[in-house]
Structure 1
């Protein structure tokens, strides 16, 4: 894989992670909106929800672009990096805590992506 392909794959993971973070922002705002029946209407009025969808859309377009030149079996392991990025963003933006077990697992995921990228 070229450096540009790796950068695009990292960018896709980052877009997905940012989208998940924005979905959490929307969920927190929705939680304060009231009744469950009004949830869908209230969700449509939350800007972070729409921004998350845009980021997911951009990530999808970039994914399709990168799959034109990178085999799926080589590209897909990079999606696992979102499992590392999202909790780190949760710590930064929502004051969530991570334990040692998570840190070990995240390091194993990163190591796995590095190994598969070099295969």
Structure 2
């Protein structure tokens, strides 16, 4: 077991989830699909950081695929369905309920089960 490779499998969906929260924060400044909104978007710090994170995640994904079969690595992308609601709860004060927690547990169990196969 290589801890750096396994950590990359978990960190990648986390980075993508952080990017999603940043895109949500960006959306507060976008009024409509017009040139003025696009100009505001081009200098929005949240948007720029989200793009940088997505770029870094893409490079990391290539690293992950070098070391894992696609069918095993892609399982971990399901963790974004766990991380995004948690981060939106923490940073955006969006609600999380018991059904979400149960679903997240099933996702984690499913990833564990499929990876062990």
Whether TM exceeds 0.5 here: the answer is yes
Give the ranges of 4+ consecutive aligned residues of structure 1 lying more than 4 Å apart after TM superposition. Answer: none
Shift of 1:51: 0.3
Structure 2 unaligned blocks of 5 or more: none
CA deviation digits over 1:23-54, x for unaligned, max 9? 11111233xxx454222111112011010000
DSSP-derived class of the 2:108 partner: helix
Shift of 1:87: 0.5
Alignment check: 8 A CA contact 2:29 2:37 kept: no
Structure 2: distance between partners of 1:71 and 1:57: 21
TM-score, with normalisation over the residues of structure 1? Answer: 0.90
Shift of 1:17: 0.7
DSSP-derived class of the 1:68 partner: helix
Q: State the match for 1:93 in structure 2.
A: 91
Shift of 1:20: 0.6
Q: State the match for 2:77 in structure 1.
A: 79
TM-score, with normalisation over the residues of structure 2? Answer: 0.91
Structure 1: distance between partners of 2:45 and 2:63: 27
Structure 1: distance between partners of 2:11 and 2:54: 11
Q: How many residues align?
A: 116
CA deviation digits over 1:46-94, x for unaligned, max 9? 0110100000110110000110120001100100001100100000011
Shift of 1:4: 2.3
CA RMSD of aligned residues (A): 1.4
Q: State the match for 2:14 in structure 1.
A: 14
